Amino acid sequence: MTLIEPPPTTDRRNPAPAASATAPHLRIERPLEGRDGEILTPAALAFLTELHDRFGRRRHDRLAARLRGRFEIGNGHDPHFRSETAHIREDPSWQVAGAGPGLEDRRVEITGPTDPKMTINALNSGARVWLADQEDATSPTWRNVIGGQLSLFDAIRGRLSYTSPEGKEYRVTAERTPTIVMRPRGWHLPEKHITVIDRAGRELAASGSLVDYGLYVFHNAHALIAAGRGPYFYLPKIESADEARLWDDVFSFTEERLGLAHGTIRATVLIETLPAAFEMEEILFALRDHCAGLNAGRWDYIFSIIKTYRGRGARFVLPDRSEVTMTVPFMRAYTELLVRTCHKRGAYAIGGMSAFIPNRRKPEVTEAAFEKVAADKRREAGDGFDGTWVAHPDLIPVALAEFDAVLGDRDNQLDRLREDVEVRAEQLLDLRIGLPITAGGVRGNVSVAIRYIEAWLRGLGAVAIDDLMEDAATAEISRSQIWQWIHQDRSTDDGTRITREYVEGLLGDVLAEVTRFEGDRFDDAADVFREVALRDEFPSFLTLPAYAKYLD
């Protein structure tokens, strides 16, 4: 292990620390290998220590507030538009900072993990923006966490290359590369390979959010600004304006600490939790000096709804995952509210990712994927979104065509205020779709969850399964639906009750059919699935027990 003890810092408000206080410091629980030391420098680790010292307690307070909110909803208190913040929503005078340099045109963004090959493919893709994903599309092994930072470090300096085991060489050849927007892990996720020792001598796992964010901004902020862009971030899993305000304070501290002008850092917030849908304007207000926009994180939003209402009765039970489309009423209400809210405040509204992907070996699959993605992006552009996500380079022209048809030479649709949209709280909570749960839907959820978790345990965060791009969010939907269907005593449309025994049988069938190979993690994946889908307890995120017990 590596012990990093930065020199004591002076608190300007209290220059004489208490005699019992110790200097906060970090302990790296893994030996440094290869180029790790280029990222985990003493100066960078001192910066991480400062972030945890200043903001670690507030992070824990916010996570405790999440638990209180879920308890209240579970006991019948539905989320609502807060009366105590109505003055923010009713004040017409404020606007957010908006697009930073290089973020003016966001009509098509590509998402993906940050390993060298995928980084190069994203930079060569022709997209306007690359969401460099250290969150749902990255399995947070220590190698991936530090390796992703190295990929970004090299890419920003124009020196990234990669040679595959087969000898194929990858280099960045595009004349114009996408603007990088990095997504750190959410507030809830730890980094178990770094221990924080606080002023009282207590030892806690570091925050995955602060580790991902801190290393990236410390090493790259000035280089990004020099290249005419900036340090930009996607903020995941936000549940409240208070959580957004915590990020805003982190940004302001960083700017002062690194000598950046206030407002240099820009963030786009994913509205991918049900509580956040009721606080969109408050979230924009909390981040207004640093905010570029909001994104409709559709898959995690569906997961959040299932998780939030998993114990509230039959009217909150959704049918097969494939039937929960963007055109069902509660999803329409959520996305239209997002566009109206963004444009009212000068923020970009970015659409979500369709899971359909092409298959170059199956032309019929590719043709169907193009048609479905085109329809999805046509709807988003028509609704007023300023840009959208894709998960595969071949889908960029498809999405681009739909947004070009609406945007033309304009960078955005901020002038479309969508004043025709009026969304009430009950519309966001009306989950009626009127379709059954099918045996195929149950089996499909088991299959996707097992195959995704297995890949995740091997270090893969974005996985093509049955011609869909699956990440942690879709695996979360799959396992949480199974849990809810069991606990709400649901049956399939052929009359079969969905019980633990029934799902265990399906699990056995799936394990018997998958192709086993040396080093596979299917047995571990089955254990994780049982823990997160078949027990009475419901872990808030499947990644938490999986990370704690099984991931290197």
Catalytic residues: 183, 471
Token reading at 254: 């960083």
Amino acid at 338: L
Amino acid at 65: A
* Burial label, 84 (beta-carbon count in 10 A; 0-12, 13-18, 19+): exposed
Please name the residue that has the structure tokens 């770094």: 194
Distance, CA of 335 to CA of 326 (rounded, Å)? 8
Distances, alpha carbon 71 to alpha carbons 78, 119, 541, in Å: 11, 40, 16
Distance, CA of 265 to CA of 384 (rounded, Å)? 25
Distance, CA of 124 to CA of 224 (rounded, Å)? 18
119-128 CB burial, b ≥16 within 10 A, e <16 = bbbbbbbebb
Phi–psi pair at 197, nearest 5 degrees:
-105, 115
Token reading at 490: 């649901």
335 close to 341: Cβ distance less than 8 angstroms: no
350 close to 106: Cβ distance less than 8 angstroms: yes
User: Looking at the DSSP assignment, which residues form a beta bridge with residue 204?
Assistant: 196
Distance, CA of 57 to CA of 36 (rounded, Å)? 28
Distance, CA of 100 to CA of 266 (rounded, Å)? 7
Distance, CA of 539 to CA of 418 (rounded, Å)? 38
Q: At what angle do helices 142-156 and 116-123 cross, to 10 degrees?
A: 40
Distance, CA of 115 to CA of 144 (rounded, Å)? 7
475 close to 448: Cβ distance less than 8 angstroms: yes
Residue among 469, 503, 509, 510 at smallest CA distance from 484:
503
Distance, CA of 27 to CA of 510 (rounded, Å)? 41
